[in-house]
Amino acid sequence: MAYSEKVIDHYENPRNVGSFDKDDKSVATGMVGAPACGDVMKLQLKIDANGIIEDAKFKTYGCGSAIASSSLVTEWVKGKSLEEAGKISNTEISAELALPPVKIHCSILAEDAIKAAIEDYKSKNA
């Protein structure tokens, strides 16, 4: 299968790989997917006192498109409020990376990871 240049770039030079302490109250963690399905994405957001995402990190088990989708999302969410980040949609992600139809689920997973992280932050800080 031919990958787009952007997928290859993110795959070969993934941005923001890593982890934050998930017990830290300012850290939002979203883990989505399932090993049996061939992809698991862990997205972590570090949120400052004003509710702005100051940093983001990811780890992903999955195909090149899944890795690229999560890498891209970590770039996009930085500097955004949680509300703004929550509006990032899979169609934007798949359009940016030129994902083929069989890889759309990777972009959906990335969107889900953002939403799961926001949920985690809200329940932690409720």
Residues designated catalytic: 37, 106
- CA distances to 26, 38, 48, 83 from 64, in Å: 30, 11, 31, 28
Q: Quick check: 108 and 67 in contact, CB under 8 A?
A: no
Per CB under 8 A, the list member of 6, 15, 17, 20 interacting with other proteins is 17
120 φ, ψ to 5°? Answer: -60, -40
- Please, what is the minimum distance in Å from the beta carbon of residue 42 to other proteins? 4
Report how far residue 52's alpha carbon sits from residue 39's, in angstroms, rounded to the nearest whole number. 28
- Contact characters 101-120, other proteins, x per CB under 8 A: -x--x--xx-----------
- Contact characters 63-102, other proteins, x per CB under 8 A: xx-xx----------------------------------x
